[in-house]
Chains A and B, each alone.
Chain A
Amino acid sequence: MTKTTVVGQSVLRPDAYEKVRGGKGFPVNVTLPGMLHAKLLRSPYPHARIVGIDASEAEKLPGVKAVLLPEDVPQKKFCPVFFVPTMAASMIQDMLILSNTVRYTGQPVAAVAATSIEIAEQALELIDVEYEELDAVFDTESAMRDGAPRLHEAAENNIAKNPVFEFGDLEAGFAEADHIFEGTYKTQRAHTCYMEPRVCVVDCDADGRLTVHSSMQHMFGLREKLAFALDLPDSMVKVIKPPYIGGGFGGKLDIGYIEPIAALLSRKTGRPVRIEQTRFEDFISTTRNPIEVYLKTGIRADGTFTARYARSTLDCGAHATHGAEVIMVHGMFGILLTYRCQNQTWEGRTVYTNNMIGGGYRGYGSPQGCFAVESQIDEICNELGFDPIEFRLKNAHHEGDPHPFLQGFNLTTYRFEDCLRQGAERIDWTQRTAPDSKQGVLRRGVGLGCQPLWVSGCVGFPDIYEHSGAIITMNPDGTANLANATVDMGSGQITTLCQIAAEELGLRADQVRMTYADTETVPFDAPSHASRVTYSAGNAVKAAAADAKQKLLEVAAIMLDTDAGDLEVREGHVHQTGTDRKLTIAEVVTRAESPFVQMTAEGPMPTTIAEKGTIIGVSSLAPPSNPSPSSVEFVEVEVDTETGEVKVLQAVFAHDVGKLINPAAAEGQVEGGFQQGMGYALMENIQFDAETGTCLTGDFLDYKIPTAVEMPRRIESIFIESNEPTGPFGAKSLSEPCCTVPAPAIANAIFNAVGVRVKELPITPEKILAGLGKL
């Protein structure tokens, strides 16, 4: 592998300077002249039919410019998820922008656009809605029972989707087992807690064309979904790329209600319309779906798997939204494909209830599976005396194996073992003691959790968009512009892509600038999700840069009277390999952009036609593969056996990353992912009133996420570089496993500390105390 000079450096983020001064680029700051403000009226009932709406008083309120009711919206059902075609067969089209049937408490039923937020709020109070309450169900068991209220016509027993995967012979596998373990593992509803609220400004012009600003993770997905919901061709919708957004984590991967509603109100009023959600509205908008997993595993005496059976029940709430895909990713990458086993059956159910709808969230179903699988492996090891690392390795995939999911691909680079061994050493794994040997009020334990198989993008997944494109334009000053549709939500996408382009072009990272883009000016790109930006968009950016580089070299070849094949770029120059002859990149670009005949002091200087033209590189392509990274987290905790409180002392994260593009940014992903995974493990839980379905945890007082005080004082990252041949400069992916592995590692560490196994997240102090028999 060639040595890199920009890739691999902890280059400072170009957007950081602006952000520490205030950050003008957030979509929440967008204002347009004449802009109106809209608010949504939300149902107080979990399941109801709207019998009548009278908005006449609201319309009369001075300052109110338009009201939107269910009768005003296109009656076209859609699936709001960005990264799939709207009518994709594998997804479920069950939503309307506004409906006469309410299926969860908080569902929008009407909207008002007014000259101020306060007037819009007042107007909401003047809308009179007559509801006919219907029976509601709040848990999947009740929802699936015969006689339960049917939430959607197409779904019998409220089962929206019921995938089954079978490999080998399960019965034979269990018959062969020396030991069988079973358990039920439950995870809760959690929120991404992006700090910038969901917000949009939509402007409909006189021709009906929409211009959209939104805090979201996918420009082209928003365009497609919005166009569909409003019965417009895609080309009538233009989505502007925000310079950056204030967090997403998967929670901004669908049209909420706000963009289509703002669009319709803008169309009605002829003015731009802005909608910003309150934190409470954000809490009831999009979440990680709760999944209950029943897992049964058969093993031989030597610890190898003979059979694995799992049944997962996902509560998708009022509409399927992401639930139809989350269940698939959960089943495959959260359970089936994690380890080798010839005889496996998994059954998944996405079930409607009158709870709030789900969205995407880092890990996308795999954290729910990982918690179950890694907890049960820990139980097996503790019960039968296996070493947790050796046990996993016995059942692990190997480098070079055929990819367990993607036909025609291999696990070309796969360093799961290195992750386990190096992480174990860093945390002194061999110093662990058994729970029953521990004494004292405060007890410490060490645990581990893994995500053996994951993705770098979405190649191979049915119905999921996976191609990227970029345009590189060289400037006469020797710098480059990069136009690409990737949204930076904080993970450093801008920096990464600029680094990749810079490396390819022989420039410094700060000589490549990510520029303005919108859906009319740049090629399609899939969202910032699925840990795909470095690998997939990075691949496209590298290709565009290579394209630009080729043209640069061709011009330079003419200038140096040699072949382009003799030239290379390095440190801002074009060099003739093996000689001292060189030109600055600026000189070459200037030459290409200069007039055909340039007047100089020495007289007219003609140049050739062949050298002329802006040096642009373009790409639009799918990445070549979907290589799997591998992740392991080791965690040490201290449990107070009198209160049940858990302090996380340290974490060591080891990851098979392919190639590290930006070490500091990568550490940031690990550290931030740990905050989310730890919150998921110990304290986060969206809760509802059991009778009314009203959200009880709609602000940060009641929905707890870790502050700086709760975080472990030591988080160490070990990045193992395996140089993936299909990745840009050898890179695979990183982001999601950082959020997936902490929870099982923490759960297993708690068991090691106090011998209490909690199979339901979050593991609150109360559950630990109950497990200790003290409640």
Chain B
Amino acid sequence: MSLTNVKEYFTPSGKDEVLELLQTYGDSALIVAGGSFVHGLDARDLLIGIDALIDIKNIGLDEVRNTSEGLSVDALVTFTELKKAGEIKDRPEFGAVRDALEYPPLQIRNLATIGGNIASACPYFDVPTAIMALDAVVQAQGPAGSRTIDLQSFFAGLFQNALETNEFVTGITFPQLPARSASAFIKLESNANDLAIVNVAARISVDDAGVCQAARLVVGGGVAETPVRAAAAEALLEGSTLSEETVQKAAEAVGTELDPMSDHRASAAYRLAMACTLTRRAVRQAIERLK
């Protein structure tokens, strides 16, 4: 286990300090927020060569705010805190986030942070799938300043994000979505404390006539190295009145865009079938929430 070889645990009190430490340690540093994923990574030998842990809990990034860009969630906001935020609780467009936050056990919700969860780039997590359906973007800070990264670019591969060595995640932003939007998220798991075998987030935005203006269908779990947007399936929903038949076709189309893996949890065939089934159910649920 590499964790016992870690030499330093830093608790910087501001962004600048974090950047300095990243400059010094580069790839041998790991940013830690809640820290709920670190030991799991270590147990699977995915933390080789880490000399320093940089704990960013004290740098003051812990708010949920309405801004002109949309709803901004700072990196250190925990799942429990996000669950309580008014917008998340009440607005139909955040249904997927609400659903995703229900799954983890209490002890994880209290510790895990949005920033840490996203930065982990773990395709078996729930929140990434959910927020991708809402077109969320990542805010990152580097020595040159801050930048915005869209999620599809951000999730570069299995446990790989698009950050430069000297950058870290400061938060995510949910852009304003069209007025009549709703989303839902469903996770398939073996028991109530599990990573996803497959998960699906669906978001639909409709006009006053009920015609779908925008659709997002995101599949995560063991279906790829990152969550996947099923664009072809989305295209089938867009412009339609979201009839039962159309939803079914879109759900089936999701299957054609995925190349899932087989492992000791489930076969590729099962994951494929479940991606379609969960898509259908998630879209139906989102439609319900529009009402």
Q: Which of B27-35, B168-176, B184-192, B202-210 contacts A (4 or more CB under 8 A)?
A: B184-192
- Which residues of A lie under 8 Å from residue B1 when comparing CB positions? 121
Interface centre among B190, B192, B195, B264 (most CB of A within 10 A): B190
Confirm or deny: A421 has a beta carbon within 8 angstroms of a beta carbon on chain B.
no
One digit per residue, 1 when the CB lies within 8 angstroms of any chain A CB and 0 when it does not, for chain B 47-61 equals 000000000000000
Confirm or deny: A687 has a beta carbon within 8 angstroms of a beta carbon on chain B.
yes
One digit per residue, 1 when the CB lies within 8 angstroms of any chain A CB and 0 when it does not, for chain B 267-289 equals 10110011001000000000000
Confirm or deny: A683 has a beta carbon within 8 angstroms of a beta carbon on chain B.
yes
- Which residues of B lie under 8 Å from residue A685 when comparing CB positions? 264
Contact of A687 among B188, B193, B264 (CB under 8 A): B264
- Which residues of B lie under 8 Å from residue A183 when comparing CB positions? none
B188-A766 in contact (CB<8A): no
Confirm or deny: A775 has a beta carbon within 8 angstroms of a beta carbon on chain B.
yes
Confirm or deny: A600 has a beta carbon within 8 angstroms of a beta carbon on chain B.
no
A706-B269 in contact (CB<8A): no
A769-B273 in contact (CB<8A): yes
Minimum CB–CB distance for B48 against chain A, Å: 14
One digit per residue, 1 when the CB lies within 8 angstroms of any chain B CB and 0 when it does not, for chain A 702-718 equals 10111111100000000
B267-A766 in contact (CB<8A): yes
- Which residues of B lie under 8 Å from residue A643 when comparing CB positions? 188, 274, 277
Interface residues of B in 242-291 (CB under 8 A from A): 264-267, 269-270, 273-274, 277
A701-B191 in contact (CB<8A): no
Confirm or deny: A642 has a beta carbon within 8 angstroms of a beta carbon on chain B.
yes
Q: Which of A341-349, A569-577, A692-700 contacts B (4 or more CB under 8 A)?
A: A692-700
Confirm or deny: B4 has a beta carbon within 8 angstroms of a beta carbon on chain A.
yes
- C-alpha gap A766/B266 in the complex (Å): 7
B272 and chain A: residue at smallest CB distance: A775
- Which residues of A lie under 8 Å from residue B270 when comparing CB positions? 765-766, 769, 775
- Which residues of B lie under 8 Å from residue A706 when comparing CB positions? 191
Confirm or deny: A76 has a beta carbon within 8 angstroms of a beta carbon on chain B.
no
B43-A710 in contact (CB<8A): no
- C-alpha gap A719/B270 in the complex (Å): 42
- Which residues of A lie under 8 Å from residue B277 when comparing CB positions? 642-643
Confirm or deny: A54 has a beta carbon within 8 angstroms of a beta carbon on chain B.
no
- Which residues of A lie under 8 Å from residue B265 when comparing CB positions? 702
- C-alpha gap A118/B4 in the complex (Å): 8
- C-alpha gap A699/B195 in the complex (Å): 13
Confirm or deny: A145 has a beta carbon within 8 angstroms of a beta carbon on chain B.
no
- C-alpha gap A702/B190 in the complex (Å): 9
Confirm or deny: B194 has a beta carbon within 8 angstroms of a beta carbon on chain A.
yes
B191-A709 in contact (CB<8A): yes
A704 and B194 contact, Cβ closer than 8 Å, known pairs A699-B43, A766-B266: yes
- C-alpha gap A775/B40 in the complex (Å): 32
One digit per residue, 1 when the CB lies within 8 angstroms of any chain A CB and 0 when it does not, for chain B 36-52 equals 00001001000000000
A775-B273 in contact (CB<8A): yes
- Which residues of B lie under 8 Å from residue A432 when comparing CB positions? none
Interface centre among A683, A697, A700, A765 (most CB of B within 10 A): A765
Minimum CB–CB distance for A132 against chain B, Å: 25
Minimum CB–CB distance for A451 against chain B, Å: 26
- Which residues of B lie under 8 Å from residue A19 when comparing CB positions? none
- C-alpha gap A118/B1 in the complex (Å): 10
- C-alpha gap A687/B190 in the complex (Å): 15
- C-alpha gap A118/B2 in the complex (Å): 12
- Which residues of B lie under 8 Å from residue A642 when comparing CB positions? 277
- Interface residue tally for chain A (C-beta within 8 Å): 29
Interface centre among B195, B269, B273 (most CB of A within 10 A): B273
A774 and chain B: residue at smallest CB distance: B273
- C-alpha gap A511/B1 in the complex (Å): 50
B265 and chain A: residue at smallest CB distance: A702
- Which residues of A lie under 8 Å from residue B193 when comparing CB positions? 700-701, 707
A700 and chain B: residue at smallest CB distance: B193
- C-alpha gap A643/B187 in the complex (Å): 12
Interface residues of A in 728-775 (CB under 8 A from B): 764-766, 769, 774-775
A702 and B192 contact, Cβ closer than 8 Å, known pairs A774-B273, A775-B269, A775-B270: no
Minimum CB–CB distance for A343 against chain B, Å: 42
A707-B43 in contact (CB<8A): no
Minimum CB–CB distance for B263 against chain A, Å: 8
- C-alpha gap A775/B275 in the complex (Å): 13
A685 and chain B: residue at smallest CB distance: B264
- Which residues of B lie under 8 Å from residue A699 when comparing CB positions? 43
- C-alpha gap A122/B193 in the complex (Å): 32
A707-B188 in contact (CB<8A): no
Minimum CB–CB distance for B110 against chain A, Å: 17
- C-alpha gap A774/B270 in the complex (Å): 9
- C-alpha gap A405/B238 in the complex (Å): 71
Minimum CB–CB distance for A611 against chain B, Å: 61
- Which residues of A lie under 8 Å from residue B273 when comparing CB positions? 769, 774-775
A702 and B264 contact, Cβ closer than 8 Å, known pairs A118-B4, A766-B270: yes
Minimum CB–CB distance for A676 against chain B, Å: 14
Contact of A683 among B4, B40, B188, B190 (CB under 8 A): B190
Minimum CB–CB distance for B44 against chain A, Å: 10
A707-B274 in contact (CB<8A): no
Minimum CB–CB distance for A742 against chain B, Å: 16
Interface centre among B191, B192, B195, B269 (most CB of A within 10 A): B191
- C-alpha gap A280/B39 in the complex (Å): 14
A689 and chain B: residue at smallest CB distance: B264
- Which residues of A lie under 8 Å from residue B195 when comparing CB positions? 701
B281 and chain A: residue at smallest CB distance: A642
One digit per residue, 1 when the CB lies within 8 angstroms of any chain B CB and 0 when it does not, for chain A 109-126 equals 000000000100110000
B192-A696 in contact (CB<8A): no
- Which residues of A lie under 8 Å from residue B191 when comparing CB positions? 683, 704-707, 709-710
Minimum CB–CB distance for A365 against chain B, Å: 25
B4-A121 in contact (CB<8A): yes
- C-alpha gap A185/B42 in the complex (Å): 38
- C-alpha gap A687/B265 in the complex (Å): 10
- C-alpha gap A687/B266 in the complex (Å): 12
- Which residues of A lie under 8 Å from residue B190 when comparing CB positions? 683, 704
- Which residues of B lie under 8 Å from residue A764 when comparing CB positions? 266
* Interface residues, chain A, with chain B CB atoms under 8 Å away: 118, 121-122, 280, 642-643, 645, 683, 685, 687, 696-697, 699-702, 704-710, 764-766, 769, 774-775
20 sample A-B contacts, Cβ–Cβ < 8 Å, listed by A number: A121-B1, A122-B4, A280-B43, A642-B277, A645-B188, A687-B264, A697-B264, A699-B43, A700-B193, A701-B40, A701-B193, A701-B195, A702-B264, A702-B265, A704-B190, A707-B193, A709-B191, A775-B267, A775-B269, A775-B270
In order of increasing CB-CB distance, the 6 nearest A-B pairs are A709-B192, A766-B270, A704-B190, A687-B264, A707-B192, A704-B191
Can you add 15 more A-B contacts, CB < 8 Å, to A643-B188, A707-B192, A774-B273? Answer: A122-B4, A643-B274, A645-B188, A683-B191, A685-B264, A696-B264, A699-B43, A701-B40, A702-B265, A706-B191, A707-B191, A708-B192, A709-B191, A710-B192, A766-B270
* Interface residues, chain B, with chain A CB atoms under 8 Å away: 1, 4, 40, 43, 188, 190-195, 264-267, 269-270, 273-274, 277
